[in-house]
Chain A
Amino acid sequence: MTSWSEPRAAAVARTASAPVDVEFRGVTKRFGAVVAVDDISFEIPRGSFHSFLGPSGCGKTTSLRLIAGFEQPDAGEVAIGGRSMVGVPAYRRPVNMVFQHYALFPHMNVADNVGYGLRQARPKLDRAEIDRRVAETLDLVRLPKMGARRIWELSGGQQQRVALARALVNRPTVLLLDEPLAALDRKLRRDMQIELQNLQRDVGITFILVTHDQEEALSMSDTIAIMRDGKIVQFGTPQLLYDAPANRYVADFVGESNFLTGNVTATHANGASIALSHGPVLKARWSAAGDHLSAGEECVIAVRPEVIGLWPIGQAPADLDVRRQGQVRNRIYLGDHTEFSLQVPELGELMVRLPKSDPLAMSLQPGDVAEIGWRADQALALRAT
């Protein structure tokens, strides 16, 4: 978009060179005895797409509301665009939010909803100027000529776009999205994810998304904060979270893993030997973003289903560190790959994901026995909590 004009310069104090758009410094928020956000600090760089990911009650929505100004922190400080937001009410913050259920004004048509923020500007903007920008933004979200429609005449996907347009038309420093896709069906959600990403690149505004859907967070974000009990467990790029989870919680939340629990018996240069509860001792490497545990500590080995291989009996390569025989319990065909669950002596039930190209992907059936194994450098030794 090139035709965005700078809106409401008075209210939206932008410092074009500041690299950080949103910063939390030791922010705590309590609701009665519940600590919703517990002393968290982070920085979100300008123009990035950031997600808060976690189960309900982890503090992600409260974090978003602290940025929006609907909540004030009990301790610490929120800064937006380099400016401290202490004591700044929601209506004076250069951020706009897309609400979970859109919160469109039912007594206004589409154009009046979208133009709402512009109409609040003092000194007043020209009627023609408002109309022009509303039309321009409706084009941007692919709802051209829908301005006169009533809100309840729109489909869920269209309402979602109106909510987006209503926020984007103000050209905020930061756009906040509170589970905006949760109410849409799967196909539409996928389309909107791609659209949101494209939109974010086009307008260059910092997007902050709250979601409990890991797939959504992984596919759209530049950075993700995984939250639990009001704290950020890990902050990083989707790739970092997937390849180098800080602990079992992250590995469990991002993608899928097989977990084998035990205790560290010996540490090596880049990993450890872990004695599983039922006997065998397996090697695994430290996660790049995880702690190095010491001998005796409880430890979890995380193995992604796609790094485990299956072979016909006797044909597994020699360089495997873990090598067992397992019986196929279940097989789920998923198009481009197939998921197997195998019962393996001493290791328990393991999930394996074979690509379509693997010769066993099609032939292996429940009841068959196959060789299963992986290399130690593909298994991560993680803190158990």
Chain B
Amino acid sequence: MLRAYSVLVYLFLYGPIALIVLFSFNSGLSAADFQGFSLKWYAKVAGNSLMLDALRTSFTVAFSSAALATIMGTMAALALQRVKGPVRVIFDGLTYIAIMVPGIVIGIATLIALVTTFEAANTILAQIWPGDAPPQLHMGYGSIIAAHTLFSMALVIVIVRARMAGMDRSLIEASMDLYADPWATFRQVTLPQLAPAIMAGFLLCFTFSFDDFVIAFFVAGPLNTLPIYVFSSIRRGVTPEINAIGTAIMMFSLVMLFSAQVLLRRASAPRKA
């Protein structure tokens, strides 16, 4: 009974995904009627310039926000190490809230905040600008990268801090004892020790940004990221082409997540020194 129940749950969870993968190889036009194996939809995707533009946008956004989030998140984790007491509790709370708040809330909140700020800033800019064409702040790469960075930074903080907690403190003392000043110790001991976690954090941020639809939908402005493109295409009907894109995105994300997992696993593997 329990087994049958489990099978049903997994079918419900993964059945649709398996169908999408299957129909991405459909030689027919319909997304519901499998007529034979073919890679023609993948070829079609590869020739779709709108899709390629969206893909390029997604990569740019994912890479930039992941890089920023990794750098700032790592710095935050390092700095928070020395913060104690109520300040620390507040920061920890904010970090976890950033992860738990639903994407749609972040999306709407960021949209409202940015639109309000941009309007105010644009008014001021128009008044103080000496030339005829004052620069206009608007939604685009900046807003979407900022929103993704803020969200992913919390992930990096959590991952890097977990690694830091598992790190042997005496390694730092050993380095100091061997004449390395704090900066040299950071470069030669702390950073190499944290590197797997930092890399894993980067990969996770990249994946989250790459896959994100909700936040991007609100703050992307005129930009089309890949998930936004897929969403708008669906309104014209589900084609095997969409299935092909979905399958490709999924495979890519799985590879990234798997790599992150391997890095974290290797980092935390007990190496008795």
Interface residue ranges, A against B (CB under 8 Å): 8, 11, 68-70, 89-92, 95-97, 99-107, 116-117, 120-121, 151-152, 159, 166-167, 170
Contact = CB atoms under 8 A, between A and B. Distances in A.
Given A11-B179, A120-B178, A152-B272, A99 B184 contact: no
Interface of B: 168, 170-171, 173-181, 184-185, 188-189, 192-193, 271-273
Nearest to A178: B170
B177 A91 contact: yes
14 contacts: A70-B176, A89-B176, A91-B181, A97-B173, A102-B273, A103-B174, A105-B189, A106-B273, A107-B192, A116-B178, A116-B188, A152-B271, A152-B272, A167-B178
B112 to A, nearest CB: 46
Does more than half of chain B's interface fall in helix, strand or loop, or is it mixed? helix
A90 B272 contact: no
Contacts of A116: 175, 178, 180, 188
A101 B173 CA distance: 12
A117 B178 contact: yes
B181 A104 contact: no
A91 B180 CA distance: 6
A332 B178 CA distance: 48
Contacts of B184: 120
Contacts of B193: 106-107
A184 to B, nearest CB: 14
A116 B271 CA distance: 20
Contacts of B272: 152
A90 B173 contact: yes
A71 to B, nearest CB: 11
Contacts of B176: 69-70, 89-91
Contacts of B178: 91, 96, 116-117, 120, 166-167, 170
Contacts of B179: 8, 11, 91-92, 117, 120-121, 170
Given A96-B177, A120-B178, A120-B179, A103 B168 contact: yes
Contacts of A120: 178-180, 184
A8 B178 CA distance: 12
Contacts of A97: 173-174, 177
Given A104-B273, A105-B189, A106-B271, A99 B174 contact: yes
Contacts of B180: 91, 116, 120
Nearest to B193: A107
Contacts of A95: 177
Contact of A159 (B177, B189, B273): B273
Contacts of B192: 107
| Interface pairs A-B: 6 shortest CB-CB | A117-B178, A103-B170, A103-B174, A120-B179, A90-B176, A107-B192
Contacts of B168: 101, 103
Given A97-B174, A101-B273, A120-B178, 7 more contacts: A68-B173, A104-B174, A105-B273, A106-B271, A166-B178, A167-B177, A170-B178
